[in-house]
Structure formats: C-alpha cells, structure tokens
Amino acid sequence: MKGQKGFALAATFSHPLQLAQPWRRLGRQLKRWWQLAEQRRQLAMLGDAQLKDIGLSRADALQEAERPFWDDPCSH
C-alpha cells in the first residue's frame, strides 16, 4: 500500500517543471498585484490637470485608487 501511494505522487509530478508551475503562477499573480497597487498609488498622486488629460475626475481616480490590490479588472 505505501509503495502505491508513493508511486501515485511520483506519477503526478513526473517532470521537474511540473513542480515549478504552481510557483510560477504564484509569482506572476504576486507581480500583477504589485503592479496594480503601484498603478493605483500613482493614479491617486496625479494632479487635476493630469486627470483631466486622461478623462478622469478626482472622484474617479480616488474610487479606483481605493480598490484593493487583488481586485483585478483583467481577471473577470
């Protein structure tokens, strides 16, 4: 019985790259969250003239800046 369980686990990750995939996905997700947080921080720092140039009001910018970093509009 013990050998069968070990074989099942070994068969699941038969290639070393399969072990790395979850870590890569996690790394990409963490990077994306950091980018979102940074972009929202920079958006909150823009002046009224800069916001007007991109077609946003101060209220729009603050609303976006207050969203949590995990709230990714591209993931929906």
Full domain range(s) for residue 29: 20-69
Cα gap 61→53, rounded to integer Å? 13
In a domain, 76, yes or no: no
**pLDDT per residue over 8-48, tens digit each?**
555 555 666 677 899 999 999 999 999 999 999 999 999 99
Residue 60 identity (one-letter amino acid): D
In a domain, 8, yes or no: no
pLDDT band at 4 (very low <50, low <70, confident <90, very high): low
Count structural domains, the chain. 1
Q: What is the pTM of this model?
A: 0.68
Question: CA dist 24 to 13, 19, 69, Å?
Answer: 15, 9, 19
C-beta separation of 61 from 21 below 8 A: no
Q: What is the pLDDT of residue 12?
A: 58
